[in-house]
Every structure is written in structure tokens, then in C-alpha cells.
Amino acid sequence: MDPERVQKVEEAVSFAEQRSDDLDSAIRDVADRLAKLVGRLERLESRMNALETSGDDGEDEPRDIVDERPPHSGKLPGGR
């Protein structure tokens, strides 16, 4: 076999292996981020369930949700 051709094949194989390693790393990163997101969603879901079952204490919204409303949410002071 031609040495130049062998070198090109070896370079292609090396590139494919590097690309495969990069993709494996990216998939692991996405899986880690997804696991964190699932955990966060589960905590939020349990918190929402706790708020729903805590009963109505006379307020329109639970106090901790009102405190977490971001300033850009469009809700004006005084409920306007």
C-alpha cells in the first residue's frame, strides 16, 4: 500500500477518534445538566404541591412566590 495513502488513512482515523471523544464529552456534559434540571424540577414540583396543600391563608398568592417575582415581571406595586 502507498505510504502516503496509509498516512491519510491514519490521519482520518485519528481525527475520527478525536471527534468521537469530543462528542462523548459533550454528551456527558448534557447528561449532567439534564440531571441537574430534573432535580430542580422535582424540587419545584414538591414545593408547588406543598403550597397547594397548605391551604388558603387569605392571601391571593403564597408569600414566598410573591417575594420571588422578578422585578421585570410586569407587576406594578399595589397589584396594578
Q: Is residue 13 part of a domain?
A: no
Range(s) of the domain holding residue 33: 18-52
In a domain, 67, yes or no: no
* pLDDT value of residue 54: 82
d(C-alpha 34, C-alpha 39), whole Å = 9
Q: How many CB atoms lie within 10 A of CB 30?
A: 10
pLDDT confidence band for 1 (50 / 70 / 90): confident
Q: How confident is the model at residue 26 (pLDDT cuts 50, 70, 90)?
A: very high
* Helical residues (DSSP H) of the chain, grouped into ranges: 3-53, 63-68
Domain count, the chain: 1
The verdict on residue 6 lying in a domain is: no
- Total-model pTM: 0.52
Tens-digit pLDDT profile for residues 32-75: 999 999 999 999 999 999 998 886 555 555 555 555 555 565 65
Residue 43 lies in a domain: yes
Summarize the confidence of residues 15-31 as an average pLDDT. 96
